[in-house]
Amino acid sequence: MKCAILSIGTELLMGQILNTNSKYLSEELNNLGIGVYYHHTVGDNPKRLEALIKETFKNVDMIITTGGLGPTQDDLTKDIISKIFNREMIKDEYSYERIKGYFKRRKKAMSPNNIRQAYMPKDSIILENNYGTAPGFILEEKEKIIICLPGPPREMKNMFNDQVIKYIMDKEKNYIHSKTIRLFGIGESSLEENIMDLIRKQKNPTIATYAKEGEVSIRITSSSKDEEEAKYLVDNMIKNIYEKVGKYIYSTDNEELIDVVVKKLKEKSLTLSLAESCTGGMIGSKFTDIPGVSNYFDRSLVTYSNRAKEEELGVKKHILKEFGAVSRQTAESMVIGLKRKTKSDICLSVTGIAGPDGGTDEKPVGLVYISLLYGKIMVTRRFYFTGDRNKIRIYTMLSGLNMIKEVL
Amino acid sequence: MKCAILSIGTELLMGQILNTNSKYLSEELNNLGIGVYYHHTVGDNPKRLEALIKETFKNVDMIITTGGLGPTQDDLTKDIISKIFNREMIKDEYSYERIKGYFKRRKKAMSPNNIRQAYMPKDSIILENNYGTAPGFILEEKEKIIICLPGPPREMKNMFNDQVIKYIMDKEKNYIHSKTIRLFGIGESSLEENIMDLIRKQKNPTIATYAKEGEVSIRITSSSKDEEEAKYLVDNMIKNIYEKVGKYIYSTDNEELIDVVVKKLKEKSLTLSLAESCTGGMIGSKFTDIPGVSNYFDRSLVTYSNRAKEEELGVKKHILKEFGAVSRQTAESMVIGLKRKTKSDICLSVTGIAGPDGGTDEKPVGLVYISLLYGKIMVTRRFYFTGDRNKIRIYTMLSGLNMIKEVL
């Protein structure tokens, strides 16, 4: 099935908001085995919208629209589509009650515009909106399908995941199964080299690799008439990938590195403290992103200046002078001081040169030392990261998390 | 002039990357007074690209393409456009030398594909690429204009800013001047109410408001045949806006709050230390985003647990017990302990409930205390933020930065 995604909204054409819906839907549709051939965006303009839908249907079987369903947009999308498909608008009692309930719960008045949101093209499949007022809908006619979703990403995503995927799978008479493996410590191109034979042979399941700031992931998607077979195909492929790059895999459930680390801290009831220099609090901030982490995360001492390293962590002046703030000796001295102070089960220190200035031939920008202390284990690693200041800091953070993960 | 933006690349249709180029170009073009009527995205497919360009030119005068110029994409865009406009491809010696130089500097071999990048449609205006190998170009014919830019955002943006804006301004015989004001402490809707009469009257200059995570900004854009007049129109509008909402304005040069704070610390040669609880290092990380901040930023003590607050900052057990970790008393005790320890000129402490759990009727999620100590000034503020954990943490960070800005 050939598909196009049509985003409706003048604010997109003004550049006021980023179109994340098209990316999201494209990724999901590709995983369902639906080819996306076009993204189009048009403003809240009836004539141009009508012309674009008609033109687009010349090239594809299915259009998914987002936006133009809100109460202030005069139900633009619904009106135009009911016109194109020649359907009258009928009040949908179920949607009407839902919208009424939505306003009642929020103790707000319902405007005539909101009532209009309950009118839907005749014989459409109505999609409930569990996160807002505008219902979506699906219309089918003469081998053509149009699926209309609201614009706000949260409403759109939930409607798509909960209702549209099922519709498409039924339509295609196919069960789709998808899993995402996450890896750290291997680049995308070297990952692809390692699993090249699997990628070459791929057909069902399909394999797609993605890279994002130091982490790479592999999405494996199978399709089958039979649910069990779809799952088996994916699991079997994961086994094959494990054989090749297993040591880099930290999750087969699309978890982030931080989630895996915190899960392990919880499982083992361990406490953690940090001493951060070049990351400046970024690692602590990452841990405290996670609700309820306070039982495991004790503190982070962001010792940016040398004086702070001396005072907070007891790093000796002569060490800073002789070896420098960015050195194995300082990193180890930091982590020992941190342990002495906090008694946390796991202590981690980082010190490095994030740039763009401050690098020398001997100690270039991107040089980072990370030390970890856990029981009797003390590990110190030296890294040379490339990229801008932000990238070096993020790589440092991820490498620190990875070192914690490795000892747990 | 009516314009469409055409993004070329299968990776966009696969949902592998987010289309930030269309947003960027739309915002810039709107500021230049050019109306953007469509965004289209098509894959690396010659037939569909050709058909889409032809179809799009039925509705607009100008198309800006991004992507499809890279060495691995077989110069898809150039080939199709030279075909549509019926122009032969000619080797551009200047581009050739530049590409050769690019590889020489990087000590890399030049492939035949790279040589092809120097071939351009006859009589096109060539756009230099200062950040990559693929030059862009502009073709004009029969009142239609096509501007082809590379896909990587950094290459695209620099080419657009340095060369395309000038081309468009010459074309429009107009000088465009634009400035962005940044505000903190006022919501977008209340800002709009306050400057409603200015927005209503707007024509030249135009006024657009934008909101992003707690900060709002106003972009003022004028156009005139005369450069001086364009500048005067903007400056005069800024004066009018100052009269209405001046107390919320922290920059008329589109600077971020953190940049304004660090600039002031530098000007006054002051040092800063932080004691963070609910932000968990986020504020320290924000400061250390900025290169060379180490002369002003001493340390951040991320005291997430009560024990850390006691040990690091000398917060008394009975204060934590009697008033709780999230209280005026704890915040003030934290900042006093921080000052005693660090002697930094400015000390700031934050403690709050970021949620989603941990709130009570008396102390709901979103309750945050921030204390600041500067010389003899001690300020403590209580906030009630709404939103999810991330939003509450970001608002806390921004409010802390704003409190520092206010005393400087």
The tens digit of pLDDT for each residue in A198-233 reads: 888 878 898 888 777 778 889 898 888 898 999 999
What pLDDT is attached to residue A402? 96
Strand, helix or coil at A111?
coil
**A407/A70: higher pLDDT:** A407
What pLDDT is attached to residue A112? 76
Across B269-297, average pLDDT: 96
Q: For residue B288, which of A281, A356, A407 has the smallest C-alpha distance?
A: A281
What pLDDT is attached to residue B177? 87
- What's the pLDDT tens digit per position in A310-353? 999 999 999 999 999 999 999 999 999 999 999 999 999 999 99
Confidence band for B189, pLDDT divided at 50, 70 and 90: confident
- What's the pLDDT tens digit per position in A345-394? 999 999 999 988 889 999 999 999 999 999 999 999 999 998 889 989 99
Rounded CA-CA distance A12/A6 in Å is: 12
Rounded CA-CA distance B105/A236 in Å is: 47
CA angle B394, B397, B403 (to 5 degrees): 140
What pLDDT is attached to residue A72? 61
Rounded CA-CA distance A271/A343 in Å is: 9
What pLDDT is attached to residue B104? 83
Q: In the structure encoding, which two tokens stand for residue B46, read together?
A: 């010659």
- What's the pLDDT tens digit per position in B102-129? 888 877 777 777 788 888 999 999 999 8
Window 352-391 of A: residues touching B by CB (8 A cutoff) are 354-357, 389-390
State the ipTM, two decimals.
0.78
Rounded CA-CA distance A241/A235 in Å is: 10
A:B CB pairs within 8 Å: 228
Rounded CA-CA distance A276/A305 in Å is: 11
Window 55-84 of B: residues touching A by CB (8 A cutoff) are 55, 59
Q: In the structure encoding, which two tokens stand for residue A306, read together?
A: 């040398």
Amino acid at A6: L
- Flag if A304 and B298 touch (Cβ within 8 Å): yes
Which of A130-134, A188-192, B270-274 is the most confident on average? B270-274
What pLDDT is attached to residue B72? 61
Lowest mean pLDDT among A89-93, A242-246, B241-245: A89-93
What pLDDT is attached to residue A174? 80
**DSSP-H helix ranges across A72-164:** 76-84, 93-105, 112-116, 153-159
Task: Using a pLDDT cut of 90, give the percent of chain A over it.
Answer: 66
What pLDDT is attached to residue B366? 94
- Flag if B288 and A297 touch (Cβ within 8 Å): no
What pLDDT is attached to residue A73? 55
Q: For residue B84, which of B168, B162, B6 has the smallest C-alpha distance?
A: B6
Amino acid at B292: G
Count of C-beta atoms within a 10 Å radius of residue B311: 17
- Flag if A14 and B27 touch (Cβ within 8 Å): yes
CA angle B243, B248, B249 (to 5 degrees): 75
Average pLDDT over chain A, rounded to an integer:
92
Whether residue A142 is predicted with pLDDT greater than 90 in this model: the reply is no
Whether residue A176 is predicted with pLDDT greater than 70 in this model: the reply is yes
- Flag if A27 and B16 touch (Cβ within 8 Å): yes
Alpha-carbon B154 to chain mean position: 13
Across A182-190, average pLDDT: 86
What pLDDT is attached to residue B94? 87
- What's the pLDDT tens digit per position in A80-112? 999 999 999 999 998 889 888 888 887 777 777
Lowest mean pLDDT among A201-205, A244-248, B237-241, B311-315: A201-205
Looking from the CA of B386 toward its CB, the CA atoms found within 13 Å total: 1
- Flag if A288 and B278 touch (Cβ within 8 Å): yes
What pLDDT is attached to residue A114? 78
Q: For residue A168, which of A32, A28, A5 has the smallest C-alpha distance?
A: A32
Task: Answer whether B33's CB lies under 8 Å from B173's CB.
Answer: no
Average pLDDT over chain B, rounded to an integer:
92
Whether residue A182 is predicted with pLDDT greater than 80 in this model: the reply is yes
Count of C-beta atoms within a 10 Å radius of residue B109: 7
Whether residue A408 is predicted with pLDDT greater than 60 in this model: the reply is yes
Q: In the structure encoding, which two tokens stand for residue A101, read together?
A: 């309930």
Task: List, in order of start, the domains of chain A with CATH numbers.
Answer: 2-172 (3.40.980.10), 175-251 (3.30.70.2860), 257-407 (3.90.950.20)
Task: Answer whether B41's CB lies under 8 Å from B12's CB.
Answer: yes
Q: Which residues of B touch A285 (CB under 8 A)?
A: 279-282, 284-285
Whether residue B74 is predicted with pLDDT greater than 70 in this model: the reply is no
Across A268-286, average pLDDT: 97
Q: For residue A368, which of A387, A381, A357 has the smallest C-alpha distance?
A: A381
Which of B71-80, B132-141, B275-284 is the most confident on average? B275-284
Rounded CA-CA distance B32/B27 in Å is: 9
Whether residue B73 is predicted with pLDDT greater than 60 in this model: the reply is no
Confidence band for B268, pLDDT divided at 50, 70 and 90: very high
**Contact residues for B353 (Cβ-Cβ < 8 A; gap 6+):** B278, B326, B359, B363, B364, B365, B366, B367, B368
- What's the pLDDT tens digit per position in B344-367? 999 999 999 998 888 999 999 999
Across A13-32, average pLDDT: 92
| Least Cα separation, residue B10 to chain A (angstroms) | 9
CA angle B25, B27, B31 (to 5 degrees): 110
Q: In the structure encoding, which two tokens stand for residue B223, read together?
A: 């156009």
Beta strands in B231-271 (DSSP E): 249-251
- Mutation pick from B13, B44, B265, B396 vs chain A, by most beta carbons of A within 10 Å, is B13
Rounded CA-CA distance B253/B242 in Å is: 14
What pLDDT is attached to residue B29? 93
Kindly state the DSSP code that residue A110 receives in the 8-state scheme: P
Nearest C-alpha in A relative to B25: A15
Window 149-168 of A: residues touching B by CB (8 A cutoff) are none
Whether residue A74 is predicted with pLDDT greater than 70 in this model: the reply is no
- Flag if A280 and B298 touch (Cβ within 8 Å): no
| Least Cα separation, residue A135 to chain B (angstroms) | 24
Q: Is A9 left (phi over 0), alpha (psi -120 to 50) or beta?
A: left
B10 shares contact with chain A (CB less than 8 Å): no
| Least Cα separation, residue B393 to chain A (angstroms) | 9
Please name the member of A28, A29, A304 whose beta carbon is closest to the beta carbon of B297: A304
A218 shares contact with chain B (CB less than 8 Å): no
Q: For residue B259, which of B400, B396, B405 has the smallest C-alpha distance?
A: B405
- What's the pLDDT tens digit per position in B1-16? 899 999 999 889 989 8
Beta strands in B306-376 (DSSP E): 346-352, 367-374
Lowest mean pLDDT among A364-368, B286-290, B291-295: B291-295
